[in-house]
Amino acid sequence: MQSLVEQLIAEPSEQTVMRLLDDESEQEVFWVDWREDDGELAGYCETIIKTGSLSSKWEQDQLILSYKGKTTKVPLTYSGADRHITLIAINEILAPDFQIRFVWDSDGSDTLAFAILPSSRWAALEAQYGQETVAKAFLALTPELNTFDDPLRGHRPGQAAAKSWWQFWK
């Protein structure tokens, strides 16, 4: 049976999107509010990946991530960019085992959805459906494009960039 992530790639219908985004079993997707405490994000990921190894802790005003004996400090800026910065740091510490990707269909909300799968599973989905097809449903996180602060319209493959307001008058 296909997972909901794979169904969204294979059958990108509104019904599939709603089933994935409404999945309360926390099998593959977790939600992050733009005001979220960054210290909670590792726990959301661990709930899905179930390794018993991913954790975070605050030491004074510094967020420390731990995974399988590795630790890293999250370079927080104490701004709205921090949720994205924390997700990037989690991706880095989980590599090469797991990868978090943004669910495009949650764009436009102040609470965004992210899918986390083993890196090998993302690679298999890209091999089966093509990298561009997977990218139409899920954005691989990069430091350059902040999913919380940057305008994302036009970055999704197959989606036109938003017109500037003055272009509507022509």
pLDDT tens sequence across 124-145: 999 999 999 999 999 999 998 8
| Two tokens, residue 47 | 């709930």
Residue 164 lies in a domain: no
Residue 14 lies in a domain: yes
Residue 109 lies in a domain: yes
Query: What is the value of pTM for the model shown?
Result: 0.87
Residue 105 lies in a domain: yes
Q: Distance between CA atoms of 22 and 100, rounded to whole angstroms?
A: 18
Residue 140 lies in a domain: yes
Instruction: Find the domain containing 80 and state its range.
Output: 4-151
What is the 8-class DSSP label of residue 169?
G
Residue 48: its H or E element: helix 41-49
149 confidence band (pLDDT: 50, 70, 90): confident
Count of structural domains within the chain:
1
Residue 156 lies in a domain: no
Residue 22 lies in a domain: yes
Question: 132 phi and psi, to 5 degrees?
Answer: -65, -40
Q: What is the pLDDT of residues 10-31, one digit of tens each?
A: 988 888 888 877 766 668 899 9
Residue 66 lies in a domain: yes
Q: Distance between CA atoms of 57 and 11, rounded to whole angstroms?
A: 39
